[in-house]
Structures are given as C-alpha cells and as structure tokens.
Structure 1
C-alpha cells in the first residue's frame, strides 16, 4: 500500500476526515505500508495537501474530497447554515483541540456543562474530557467562575493550571474579567481567537482594570492551536520509543 493510500484508509475509517494529530497517531500503525523516511510526519503533512484526494476544512482539519457531500454539519457546515451555527461549530472545534492538548499533556480536562453535549469531530465534548464535575478547589464563587471558562486544565493536585477562553466573535473584555477574578491562583490564562483579533486583545489587555494580569495572559491564534496540537501528537507518537 502506498503512503497516500494509507492516509486515505485511515481517513475513511474515521468517517472521511481527520485532524493532523489523529493522522500522526494512526497512520503509522497501518501494517502493510513502509515509511522509508526519517520524517514521516512531514510526509503526512505533504500528502494531505494533495488536492486530488484531500481538502482543508479549517486549521489542522482535513477531509477526503470523495466524502465532501457526506460530512456532518459540525465538520463541514452547509453554505446555507446560519452564521450563529457556524460560529458554534468553530468554537467547539477549538475547545476540542484544547481538551485533547490537555489530555496529551496528562492534565485533567473540564468544559462547562452547557458545552458538554456539543459535537467535536463526531464525539461529544464530555466524552473526551477527563472530569465531568469540577473540583471544589476554592470558595464557591471562585469555582462558579471557573465553571464558565471554555476549557480548564487541572494539575495533579486538582488545581487549575491553565484556563482558556475561545473568542470567535464574543467580547474579549468579558473573558479578561473572569481571569482577573482568578488572578490569585498560579494559573496560566489564554485567549484563543483568530489572528485578526490579536490587536483587539492587546488593546483590551492594556486597560488599567487588567494591569494585575497583563503579564500573565497570552494570545493563541487558531492556527497556533492547531499547530501545537499537531506537533504535540507527533511527540507523543514517538515518545514510547525513547522512554527511559
């Protein structure tokens, strides 16, 4: 079996689509294909850019052209889909990537109750998070604020290590207000949005109200999150070979 045929086979088995992270973890497991290269992940990235067979849906997510009319709406929204619904699908996609990233890094992952039944790549978000009930790590009002954060990674002591707010079109200001309320915890804060919103993020963060957290909040672009998801999957795919 040729390399591109292996990628097609893995995608077909997954419903006709896959993230690069998923491909990195599964393509090399197909037994009847030899990858005579020292850079198989680069080969996979090259293969999915072959427009004869594949097309890009959004950062990090690819699909088979032969499945274009068969994909579920949360994967490839119809052109007549409402803007609100399309934004919801995008929001959930990046939530899912962040949850998987946290899982890769051995954190305990949590999403708000109202998001748990939303679909990420054919799977409900609650099926990929590792905890269904938030840890009561502090006062009730603090925990309630954390419950509204789009994605939270908890460390081995059940404390919030990193908190992420995905801002597709909503007000970044409101997310920064949440982070201010959590400033007394040794946590990382991150706004995830399209690169075009970086300047808006910087402007909002420069306000006096956010001075206490101005050095602690980072901006991750959608492309950056997808790239980090892909690269992290590459690392965990080869890590067992070098375990000491």
Structure 2
C-alpha cells in the first residue's frame, strides 16, 4: 500500500512540474482527465490544467485517447506542442505506445514527445527508444527526462 502511494505521489509530482513549466513558457496545459483531482504538496493538478479537453479536428475515439496523455502543452491554436508520459513503474512500452499514438494521430511533426522516467530506469528507457521499430517510423522522435533533472531544474527554469 505504501509503495502504491509513493508511486502515485511521485507521478503526480512530475505532472505538477511539467504543468508549471508549460505555463511558465506561455502554453496552455492539459493534464490527463483522470488526474485533475490528484494533489502533491497541497496543490491540485487540475489547477494547472484546462478544465476541459480542447476541441480538435479529430475523431472522438482519438481525442478520448489523447485526453489520457499525462501532460500536454498546447499553443494558442490548441495545437499540441509537447506531450509527456510519466513512467514510474508501468511498462516503458506503454508510455512509448501512447506517445507514438499521439504523434500519428495529430500528425504534427513539430510536436516534441518525452518520457519522464526514474533515474534507475534510464538504461531501460534508452534501450527501448533505440529499438529499430521506433527508429523506422513516421512518428517524431521520443526523448526522455529523468525525474532528478526535472525535480532539480523546474524551479530555476520557471523563473
């Protein structure tokens, strides 16, 4: 039970940092609809998110899938600038697949895609991102950010 709480708490912490960064860069932020009520250090994630997923020229099933990406940064035209998946304990593949689906669905070659991962999973993430199936795709490249880097640099970047 304690480990589940810690995993959820750390996941929420990373989402909060990403939301704060997005807002500091002037983007609208969307946080996965099922995470709006989560809190970290008495801050509710929904406070940083658009209240409803913005209308996009996409089939409903695709929009519904995209609405569950952990964090999205959107420009003033509601185009997705960056997408982030926080992978604490689940399969790295699941985060990569969600980001890949996002890239193929919105067709925005300029969108930046990121996995946010614990430091101890960096080697695993790098190995997965180098798989030939990800190198030979129309999907934009997926990069990663370690928890420690996001945690240490968020406040300085936001200033």
Q: CA deviation at 1:232?
A: 1.5
Offset from partner CA, 1:188-225 (integer Å, 9 cap, x none): 10000112211111221223332226762111011211
Q: Which residue number corresponds to residue 52 of structure 1? A: none
What SS does the corresponding residue of 1:182 show, helix, strand or coil?
helix
Per-residue CA shift, 1:129-153, capped at 9, x if unaligned?
A: 2x11111222223212211111111
Higher normalized contact order (CA 8 Å, seq sep 6+, divided by chain length): 2
Question: Is there any run of 5+ residues in structure 1 with no aligned partner, and where?
Answer: 1-80, 235-244
The counterpart of 1:133, out of the listed 31, 43, 52, is 52
Comparing 210-219 and 172-181, the one that deviates more: 210-219
The answer to whether the Cα contact below 8 Å between 1:109 and 1:153 also exists between their aligned partners in 2 is yes
Question: What do you get for the CA RMSD once the two structures are aligned?
Answer: 1.7
Name the larger-Rg structure.
Answer: 1
Aligned length: 153
Identify the residue that residue 232 of structure 1 maps to in structure 2.
157
| Equivalent pair of 2:113/2:140 in contact (CA under 8 Å) | no
1:9-28 to structure 2, matched below 5 A, reads none
Unaligned runs of 5+ in 2: none
Aligned to 2:108: 185
1:85-136 CA distance string (max 9 Å, x none):
111111101110110001111100111221111102202111122x111112
> What are the residue-to-residue correspondences of 1:218-229 with 2, within 5 Å?
218-229=143-154
- Conserved? CA contact 1:164–1:190, under 8 Å: yes
* SS of the residue 1:110 aligns to: strand
- TM-score normalised per structure 1: 0.59
